[in-house]
Amino acid sequence: MKKQIAILGSTGSIGTQALDVIRKNSDRFEVYALVANRSVDKLIEQAREFKPNVVCIADETLYERLRDALADLDIKVWAGDQAITDMVTMPSIDVVLAAMVGYAGLKPTMAAIEAGKTIALANKETLVVAGDIILDLCRKHRVPLLPVDSEHSAIFQCLAGELANPIEKILLTASGGPFRTYTIEQLKHVTASEALKHPNWQMGDKITIDSATMMNKGFEVIEAHWLFNVPYDKIAVLVHPQSIVHSAVQFADGAIKAQLGAPDMRLPIQYALTYPERVTSDFPRADLLQLGALTFDQPDLVKFPLLALAYQAIERGGNIPCVLNAANEVVNLAFREGRCSFPAMSELIDRTMQCINYIPKPNYEELVKTDLETRQIVNQWIS
């Protein structure tokens, strides 16, 4: 029988590429549910093509427009955050692809785990904010947590057949983003439009800015810590401008296993949906002969201090990674809207991490409170 897939964030970069994977593997998968935040026209288009059982729009003001546009189809139309949380628990769903942007993905992902759904995780903020809680829930409900990020998918693939062997180091690769060769003086004047021109990957706006600041890589360090139970000081970041080595694992005997491929997110998405099988695809291939040299370098933590702040956050633990994420979501948006400079983003996040009350082992309600308090403080400083 076909796997029934629910896609949280279907109109975003990961969601649209996941639908392409499903389109090419219609004998294996069926779209059961689609969720979008505000991109109602794109959601309508997707619903008319894939004809899911249910669609849901987070912005409740768009409900009537969505409902009227799909009135001729036998599709349930829901709206609001609670509807999303209810939707992921529907009995027919096999896999929930968690691809909503940011903190908003946490609550529905928790609900899906509690309902026993397999999770294909593309929302790294879920583990950044609440890694301890999420892993406890997965163990309690015996739910597989399959990584979709290209780096974590690469590590996951490198660990196949190696789970009993000790890991010496995880090597997370990073493209370095569009400002890799910029000076500190040049970074003072960069604009959002420049930051959104990633050299290798096609991604949504928020994650593209995070890549430019290297905050995205900091989040991936925290995510790798939780996914693979590896101490943060055994997770190293390497700048690899070609984006062909998606990440690597060094084992106790010194051997390094790496996963290579073209920079195309459809490959890790398909691997998560078909795991443990590898299914034939027509995705672009990496031609090593044509590429020639593959280079690696240390990240510059002076030019990109957000990566260093991420290491500080996971070292302190507790609710501090939640603070890091919430502050970053606020400054990321402010930078895109021209209300905050590139260097000010790291300055504001650092300042916020110093002033929020530390909670060593927060529960979900305390994380919600921390997130809200952080956003209020940073927005006040920006305004």
Residues 209 and 351 in one domain: no
Mean pLDDT, the chain, rounded, equals 95
CA distances from residue 323 to 128, 312, 337, 366, 369 in whole angstroms, order as listed: 10, 12, 21, 11, 10
Is 56 a domain residue? yes
Q: Is the pTM of this model over 0.85?
A: yes
Residue 51: which region, alpha, beta or left (left: phi > 0; alpha: psi -120 to 50)? left
Residue 198 has pLDDT above 90, yes or no: no
DSSP 5: E
Question: How do beta strands 145-147 and 118-121 pair?
Answer: parallel
Question: How do beta strands 245-251 and 167-174 pair?
Answer: antiparallel
| pLDDT of amino acid 336 | 95
| pLDDT of amino acid 292 | 85
Residues 254 and 349 in one domain: no
Residues 31 and 137 in one domain: yes
| pLDDT of amino acid 201 | 64
Query: Using an 8 Å Cβ cutoff, are 173 and 151 in contact?
Result: yes
Q: Which of 125, 147, 169 is the last residue of a domain?
A: 147
Is 47 a domain residue? yes
As a whole number, mean pLDDT of residues 322-328 equals 97
pLDDT in tens, 170-195: 999 999 989 999 999 999 999 999 99
Q: Which of 94, 122, 147 is the last residue of a domain?
A: 147
- Here the tokens at position 363 are 């529960």
Residues 39 and 180 in one domain: no
pLDDT in tens, 122-158: 999 999 999 999 999 999 999 999 999 999 999 999 9
Is 245 a domain residue? yes
Q: How far is CA 15 from the centre of its chain?
A: 12
Is 212 a domain residue? yes
The CATH number linked to 332 is: 1.10.1740.10
| pLDDT of amino acid 202 | 66
| pLDDT of amino acid 102 | 83
- Here the tokens at position 45 are 């288009």
Q: What is the spatial distance between Cα 200 and Cα 195, in angstroms, rounded to a whole number? A: 13
Residues 143 and 158 in one domain: no
Residues 28 and 122 in one domain: yes
Please, how many CA atoms are within 13 Å of residue 2, restricted to the half-sphere of its CB?
A: 13
Query: Computed from CA positions of residues 54, 267, 12, 72, in that sequence, does the dihedral angle turn out positive or negative?
Result: negative
pLDDT in tens, 246-304: 999 999 999 999 999 999 999 999 999 999 999 999 999 999 888 889 999 999 999 99
Range(s) of the domain holding residue 131? 3-147
Question: How do beta strands 245-251 and 256-260 pair?
Answer: antiparallel
Q: What is the spatial distance between Cα 185 and Cα 104, in angstroms, rounded to a whole number? A: 35
Residues 43 and 172 in one domain: no
As a whole number, mean pLDDT of residues 70-83 equals 97
As a whole number, mean pLDDT of residues 206-219 equals 93
Buried b (16+ CB within 10 A) or exposed e, 271-293: bbbbbeeeeebeeeebeeeeeee
Q: What is the spatial distance between Cα 194 and Cα 171, in angstroms, rounded to a whole number? A: 28
Stretch among 49-53, 226-230, 283-287, 303-307 having the lowest mean pLDDT: 283-287
Residue 163 has pLDDT above 90, yes or no: no
| pLDDT of amino acid 245 | 96
Helix 125-141 crosses helix 106-114 at what angle (to 10 degrees)?
Answer: 10
Percentage of the chain lying above the pLDDT 90 cut: 92
CA distances from residue 325 to 122, 305, 330 in whole angstroms, order as listed: 16, 15, 9
| pLDDT of amino acid 254 | 97
As a whole number, mean pLDDT of residues 361-377 equals 97
Stretch among 219-233, 279-293, 349-363 having the lowest mean pLDDT: 279-293
As a whole number, mean pLDDT of residues 372-383 equals 96
Q: What is the spatial distance between Cα 154 and Cα 143, in angstroms, rounded to a whole number? A: 20
User: Dihedral angle at the C-alpha atoms of 195, 201, 205, 206, nearest 10 degrees?
Assistant: -90
Residues 16 and 133 in one domain: yes
Nearest to 99 by CA among 224, 33, 10: 10
Residues 292 and 341 in one domain: no
Is 62 a domain residue? yes
Residue 88 has pLDDT above 90, yes or no: yes
| pLDDT of amino acid 84 | 96
As a whole number, mean pLDDT of residues 358-377 equals 97
Q: Which of 147, 167, 194 is the last residue of a domain?
A: 147
The domain total for the chain is 3
Phi, psi angle pair for 136, to nearest 5°: -60, -40
As a whole number, mean pLDDT of residues 337-357 equals 96
DSSP 297: B
Dump strand ranges (E) for 37-166. 54-57, 76-79, 95-98, 118-121, 145-147
Residue 101 has pLDDT above 90, yes or no: no
